Amino acid sequence: MPAEAAVWVERHGAVGLCKPVDEVEPMTKGIDAFVQELQAEITEQVREQYSETVLDHWMHPRNFGPLDKADGHARVTGPCGDTMENFVKVQDDRIAQASFLTDGCMTTIVAASMMVQLATDKPVSQAMALTQADILTALGGLPADSEHCALLAANTLHGALEDHLDTSGAPWKRLYRSV
């Protein structure tokens, strides 16, 4: 124990150094209740502005995270500053797996999650044809100021598929990618 602490304990006693457990526990329960109430309030506000599909993809994003040994990869930064990455594995000219990473907001996460869901199991040519409008329709729409998130998702998917097409004829090129 440092000398200053020992002097304090000698003068005042050990009482007051720590709160008794029965005093700390109600504070913890109060914080937990506050967090639960705040989450419920945020979820209710989201329900008022967005579709149930958007809420579902926000609470349970599909295929978040990188894919090892992806056949295609792209990283795109949108006009709002959000960055999205898309990874695809292609088998027999179909998207066998797709995943994403993003540092973006809720609507960027939702758009990326829907994008990978729409692209998975599609032929590469059909996945290349997916658009911002397709993502918005599947989500049940987004507010006008968030629609660019669906464009970011579509552009990132297209970039990953272009990367796949560029490297499929020359697999050695994958060795020189940054991911």
- Residues known to be catalytic: 80, 149
Tokens found for residue 69: 């040994």
Adjacent-strand bridge partners of 85: 75, 101
Which of 77, 90, 84 has its CA nearest to residue 165? 90
Sign, Cα dihedral of 33, 39, 45, 47 = negative
Tokens found for residue 105: 């907001």
* In 45-175, beta strands by DSSP E: 72-77, 83-91, 94-102
For residue 89, which phi and psi values (nearest 5 degrees)?
-115, 130
Count of Cβ atoms closer than 10 Å to residue 73 Cβ: 21
